[in-house]
Amino acid sequence: MRDNIHRRTCHSSFSYSSFDDEEELKDEEQVTAPAEEECSHKSEDVSRVSPLPRTTQVVFEIQSGRAVPRLREPRHLYGVSGHVSQTLPRWPHEWEVIPGEIQHIEWAPPFPEPLCAQMNTSEWLRPESEEEGAVVYDTQRDKDNYFLGSRVGGRRSSLTAAAVSLSGPDDITLLFEGRFESGNLLKATRVGEFDYELSLRTDLYTEKHTQWFYFRVRNTRAGVRYRFTITNLLKVTSLYEEGQLPLLYSEEEARIQGVGWHRVGQQVSYQRNGRQHANQPCYSLSWTFCFPYDQDTCYLAHCFPYTYSNLWAHLSEIERDPHRSRFCKVRTLCRSLAGNLVPVLTVTNPSHRGDRIHKPAVVLTARIHPGETNSSWVMRGILNFLLGDSPDAALLRDAFVFKLVPMLNPDGVIVGNYRCSLTGRDLNRNYKSILRDSFPTVWATHTMVQRLCEERKVLLYCDLHGHSRKHNVFTYGCENPWPADRHPHQRVFPLMLSKNCPDMFSFGSCKFKVQRSKEGTGRVALWRLGVLNSFTLETSFCGSNIGKRKGTHFSTQDLEMLGAQFCDTLLDYCDPDRTKYSACLRELQEIMRQEAGLPIDNEPTDTSLTDHEASTSGSNSSQTDGPPAHLQAFNKMTSRKKLKSKKERNKSPLVRARESEEKGVSVLYLVFDTKKPAMTSKSEYLQHLMADYVRSRMQLTLNGYDWGPCQCPQATHLPHSQLSRDNRDGERLPGLANLPAGDKSIRRLSPVQWRGTTSYTAPSNLQLPSNR
């Protein structure tokens, strides 16, 4: 039996698929020959052994002259090689997608691009009619209210014509297009010869979040000043008010001069336009510019695009590199709601298993908000630094195990959303959700970090974002809300990063408060798991207003350099020489000591909206909280009639009619008593009645007479000595049932008891029933 098992193992261990590396084939073929010879001499009854299926997962290693079997690493099972079809973007099945892939060259300007100097501060005038002008591009079609399915390439039917057709070669109408990966353009209207009004599509299956734009323009004319106006932006403030410029990419300029994305625009304005969208005021972004070439194909964008296809092209390049692939393993974290692969990268130097367990982990994520493309460029800089040949990169790989999730929301990236996934919800508010099928990426990330915390120390977690309302780079951290329990250690890493990037990073813009509304974010949720250094790194869409880079935009080179500085700061943070750490700690202790001298509330409170922490990316996600769009629609179909409360059921139509008649009428109570000051409010009047009632009840109880409010006689004769001090001048004690009905000094009934729309004055001889 032992021989048969060994024979089966030898027979089924040496077969390889077509995509195995040649070097692995050569090494394993050398082991195959002696192993098969040994198997042939072990048993003569080979015909009785049923052959097992061939496998590529068992390989042999020579250890001390013996062939030791082991399982092959599942590199090709999860990687890009041999499975390119699995990495193609999947679209919602009703979505129209133009054929072909959009590609841009990588380029950075030789000098920092300045902010816009010609700001248009004049008031934007709304056209007399919203239908003014000719519609030249329109993709407003009937679409599903929630996600139902996906496929590669989107809609199966033929592509509809969204743009107008040119009448001839002299027609100067621009041809717009936005139905490509990460594109966003809903409608374009020509309101002048060279003046166009544009509308952006909201996040899919929502009515919110219009910020990200990325579209194509053809049939351009050089030397002509065009004006573009986006009319349905929803944010109250924007960095366009402070000099941010849109981006332009010209295919002719890239082919002839090698110039890629660059900033363009004059007379930039961002102002309220008087229109409404979903009961929210709309704002217009307007700018003028010139195209560089005639009959050119150009692209305009809010920030440097980085698509799902760009990510997989970069990962495929890493896997094909034999040197970098030794340190970086690409695996699949999960599949998104639309079925797109979500890659997770493990970067570390090969080491023995015992050494790997003792290595602390560093977890980095990006693009949970699809429109924050600058976070992908920062992640790209981190990855390129870690896989580089520098001694610092090798030291980081030796010291840590890096887990990188470069794109947490691939579905939103593909369709061109700004903030939400295909559920119509913000993923960065659902880290604590139990709906695994609706939010698979954040659920898998939370589970991965939780398992890492069980097996090793997680030194740091950082979620990369972009910010649309503040300059510079800064972080949001987590610390105990009680002042007595705060420690400066959680602020050391951001302070070190600010010292390494003095021209980009602003430590004064960092916040470390944990708000209740942020409990579902990755930063707070993983901090609750025990990751003390849990941050959100915010990078401005615009640029810097500090240091030598003041008044300039960020480029892709700046963003990648920020990623490299992040890794360098990690080395300083963990340096065995604690000189830098101690210096930062002393500086932070002084800062916190100064903060302690300011008036601080004893209880933690939420910060106001003015510090821009109401949203980690400068956008409000309160509208996207709640269940996913498809579950919300299902609840509407299956919801029952709402039951009324007992108070609502007991409210008679007569009372509701009387309340409707008295709606808007104010009653002023003026009660005069010779022994007390005047009462001018209903509450004082009721207190006056209740005081008399309680005083009378206590007097009757003390004298042994307690008939209750309903059995009390109308008038009770008591000895003069047993009467209360206030009633010794009279011989009659008022009935308890009459006390709350009105004040006996003015003989007026209370509106509370009278139940009438008109006030009546009670006669002096009025006797109420004893059982009232």
Residues whose CB is less than 8 angstroms from the CB of residue 495 and which lie 6 or more positions away in sequence, other chains included: 507, 584, 587, 588
**Residue 247 · residue 302 · CB < 8 Å:** yes
pLDDT confidence of residue 731: 42
- CA 150 to CA 390: how far, in whole Å? 43
pLDDT confidence of residue 679: 59
- Average pLDDT rounded to a whole number, residues 63-80: 64
Taking residue 705's Cβ as centre, other Cβ atoms within 10 Å add up to: 14
Q: Which residue has the higher pLDDT, 61 or 373?
A: 373
pLDDT confidence of residue 483: 66
Residue among 538, 560, 590, 595 flagged as catalytic: 538
Where does residue 645 rank: exposed (0-12), middle (13-18), buried (19+ CB within 10 A)?
exposed
**Residue 471 · residue 545 · CB < 8 Å:** yes
**Band of the pLDDT at 120, cuts 50, 70, 90?**
low
Residues whose CB is less than 8 angstroms from the CB of residue 27 and which lie 6 or more positions away in sequence, other chains included: none
Q: Which amino acid is at 767?
A: Q
- In angstroms, the Cα distances linking 630 to 144, 581, 622 are 10, 49, 18
Residue 538 annotated in active site: yes
pLDDT confidence of residue 676: 57
- CA 52 to CA 71: how far, in whole Å? 17
- Average pLDDT rounded to a whole number, residues 530-558: 96
CA atoms within 13 Å, Cβ hemisphere of 718: 22
**Residue 504 · residue 472 · CB < 8 Å:** yes
Q: Which amino acid is at 267?
A: Q
**Band of the pLDDT at 595, cuts 50, 70, 90?**
confident
Element (H, E) at 582: helix 579-597
* Percent of the chain topping pLDDT 70: 67
Helix (H, G, I), strand (E, B) or coil at 750: coil
pLDDT confidence of residue 689: 76
**Residue 116 · residue 177 · CB < 8 Å:** no
Q: pTM for this one?
A: 0.72
Taking residue 331's Cβ as centre, other Cβ atoms within 10 Å add up to: 16
**Residue 39 · residue 11 · CB < 8 Å:** yes
Check pLDDT > 90 for residue 109: yes
At 292-315, the pLDDT tens digits run 999 999 999 999 999 999 999 999
Check pLDDT > 90 for residue 380: yes
Check pLDDT > 70 for residue 770: no
pLDDT confidence of residue 642: 57
**Band of the pLDDT at 259, cuts 50, 70, 90?**
very high
Token readout for 431 is 């880290």
* Residues comprising the chain, all counted: 772
Helix (H, G, I), strand (E, B) or coil at 382: helix
- CA 260 to CA 593: how far, in whole Å? 49
Residue with tokens 């493309």: 373
DSSP label of 711: H
- CA 507 to CA 600: how far, in whole Å? 21
**Band of the pLDDT at 64, cuts 50, 70, 90?**
confident
Of 411, 437, 425, 431, the residue nearest 205 (C-alpha): 425
**Band of the pLDDT at 696, cuts 50, 70, 90?**
confident
Taking all residues of the chain, what is their mean pLDDT, rounded to a whole number? 79
Token readout for 458 is 């997680």
Where does residue 165 rank: exposed (0-12), middle (13-18), buried (19+ CB within 10 A)?
exposed
Of 473, 326, 327, 462, the residue nearest 405 (C-alpha): 462
At 333-378, the pLDDT tens digits run 999 999 999 999 999 998 766 666 789 999 999 999 999 999 999 9
Token readout for 581 is 């750490």
Most confidently predicted of 71-75, 85-89, 443-447: 443-447
Most confidently predicted of 135-149, 215-229, 681-695: 215-229
pLDDT confidence of residue 253: 97
β-bridge partners, 266:
288
* Percent of the chain topping pLDDT 90: 56
- Ranges 131-140, 263-272, 279-288: which has the least confidence: 131-140
Check pLDDT > 80 for residue 636: no
SS3 of 417-455:
CCCCCCCCCCHHHCCCCCCCCCCHHHHHHHHHHHHHHHH
Dump the DSSP string for 13-30.
Answer: S----TTS-HHHHHHHHH
Check pLDDT > 60 for residue 451: yes
